[in-house]
Amino acid sequence: MRKTAKVVIIGAGCTGAAAAYQLAVKHGEKDVVMVEKDFLAAGATGRCGGGMRQQWSTRGNIRLAQRSISAFKNFQDETGQDCEFWEGGYLLPAWNEEMVEHHHTNIKLQNEENVPSRFVTPEEIKDIAPILDTTRMLGGAYCPTDGKANPFLVVKGWCERAADAGVEINVRTEVTGFKTSGDKVTHVETSRGTIECECVINAAGGHSGVIGKMLGLDLPVAPERHQILVTEPVKHCHDPMVIDLRHNIYFSQANHGSFISGHTDYGVQSSFNIRNNWQFPIQLSRKLCYLAPPLKRLKVVRIWAGLYTMTPDAQPIIGPTPEYPNFLNAIGFSGHGFMLSPVTGTILAELITQGKVTVCPIQEFDIRRFKDGTAGTREANVV
């Protein structure tokens, strides 16, 4: 393992991988070492549903998502790796007037940012997603340019190209501490040695708070278990990712043919626990059978869980830490790190190589917002 590097990236999930790729391949900064305590995509990236959407309720999230989706679209051309990108759209049903109103408000905001989302009638929903029972739906928000991709293949593509460009990727290498000098982090200590560096990216996902603690930082992130299930594969019969905010569930059909679905646990407490409980498959199956009755004879083959890293406003923290300006966070994506990872990588690379960000405004993601009271409204479109 190298003893020095300009940039040390902690974590080889989608965020770390995107940063490595952007730095080395797109921004000419090849002096990068990546350290990962397990293996590529072993954490939340490898456990997520793989969806990506622009239908958000805050302008900041909309902008990040929009730029990310175009990057996923061009992924194969850029990296040579097929990431199974599928533009199947996202559909968010509305069950009452309040939800109709909520969707209309968001669609207006999204359209202002040139996201082609629109309100669809129950009849249109029947065309978009014939397996849905639309009887009690009043319509829904739909964006045809949302989609999904395979998170493993995305991380693989980025990491392989980054490695080709000279990034050293160290898996099974755990960060154990830091050395600092004044307000500068000077060394990253790992289970396999110490690396002297000019800059550190904390992309440790669910464990980013633990990394912060090693520097005495109390990062406002809380890991939270989210369970997810997958069914046996069937012939392709369903295009969009469905997000039902009323019933707290999302589901889609993967490239492989299986249906993947999850929800936010009822009464979940922050912890690192990613073991499953017996309630989850019962609760989720009820909702899935209610929404899409033709799926009811499908068999669940596996249930797992991963960590959402929640922030108080369910929006990410991206950028330098006031206490240590050369310690950059890209954390707290609150369940949406994968879909935002391409632009996050670009932001981090621009910050490091140019000292400023041009791809989109990032003041909304500044960690200081929680202390100085400038945090905006909480992102409402979260499952």
Partner 1 sequence: MLETDVLIIGGGPAGMCAAIEAAKLGVKTTVVEDKDRLGGQLVKQTHQFFGSEKHHAGVRGIDIGVKLAGECSDLKVNALTNTTCTGIFDDGSVGCLRGEEFFLIHPKRIVIATGAYENMLPFPDCDLPGVYGAGGLQTLMNVDGVLPGKTYLMVGAGNIGLIVSYQLMQAGAEVVAIVEALDRVGGYEVHAAKVKRMGVPIFLRHTVTHVSGDGKVERATISKIDGSFKPVPGSEFTVSVDAVCLAVGLSPLIELIAQAGCETRYIPECAGHVAVHDSNMRTSLEHIFVAGDASGIEEASAAMVEGRIAGLHAALDVTHGKADSNELLREFDSQLDELRTGPFGQKARQGKSKLWGLKLPPDEEFEEAPPIIPESGKKPVIECPQNIPCNPCAVSCPTESITIGDNITNFPVLDQGTCNGCGNCVAACPGLAVFLVNRDYSDREAEITIPWELTPPPEKGDKGYALDRTGVAICPATVTKIRRVKKIDKKRLLVAFTVPLDKADEARHFVIVEPKGAEKIETLPPADDIIICRCEDVTQKEILDCFNSGYKSFDEIKRYLRTGMGPCQGKTCQRLILGILARELKTHVSELAPQTVRTPMKPTELEIYASSKEIEPWDFENWQPPGGGH
Residues in contact with partner 1 by the rule CB under 8 A:
39-42, 46, 95, 136, 152-153, 156, 160, 230-232, 246-248, 256, 264, 266-267, 275-279, 281-286, 288-290, 295-304
Torsion-angle region of 96 (φ positive above 0: left; ψ -120 to 50: alpha; else: beta): beta
Provide, rounded to whole angstroms, the least separation between the CB of residue 375 and partner 1. 21
Task: Identify which of residues 74 and 96 has a Cβ nearer to partner 1 in the complex.
Answer: 96
Provide, rounded to whole angstroms, the least separation between the CB of residue 128 and partner 1. 21
Tell me which residue of 16, 23, 20, 9 sits closest to 353, measured CA to CA.
23
Question: CB of 16 within 8 A of CB of 201?
Answer: yes
Task: Identify which of residues 213 and 296 has a Cβ nearer to partner 1 in the complex.
Answer: 296
Residue 201's identity, in one-letter code, is I
Residue 278, classed as helix, strand or coil, is coil
Task: Identify which of residues 178 and 251 has a Cβ nearer to partner 1 in the complex.
Answer: 251
Provide, rounded to whole angstroms, the least separation between the CB of residue 213 and partner 1. 26
Provide, rounded to whole angstroms, the least separation between the CB of residue 136 and partner 1. 8
Provide, rounded to whole angstroms, the least separation between the CB of residue 38 and partner 1. 8
In order, the DSSP letters of 220-266 are S-EEEEEEEEEE--------SEEEETTTTEEEEE-TTS-EEEEEEPT
Task: Identify which of residues 76 and 326 has a Cβ nearer to partner 1 in the complex.
Answer: 76
Residue 129, classed as helix, strand or coil, is coil
Which two tokens mark 248? 């707290």
Q: Which residues contact 224 (CB under 8 A, 6 or more apart)?
A: 265, 268, 269, 270, 271, 307, 308, 309, 310
Provide, rounded to whole angstroms, the least separation between the CB of residue 367 and partner 1. 26
Provide, rounded to whole angstroms, the least separation between the CB of residue 123 and partner 1. 21
Q: How, if at all, do strands 32-35 and 4-10 pair?
A: parallel
Task: Identify which of residues 224 and 350 has a Cβ nearer to partner 1 in the complex.
Answer: 224
Task: Identify which of residues 101 and 232 has a Cβ nearer to partner 1 in the complex.
Answer: 232
> Which sign, positive or negative, has the C-alpha torsion 271, 8, 25, 153?
negative
Give the whole-angstrom CA distance, residue 380 versus residue 61.
11
Task: Identify which of residues 36 and 364 has a Cβ nearer to partner 1 in the complex.
Answer: 36
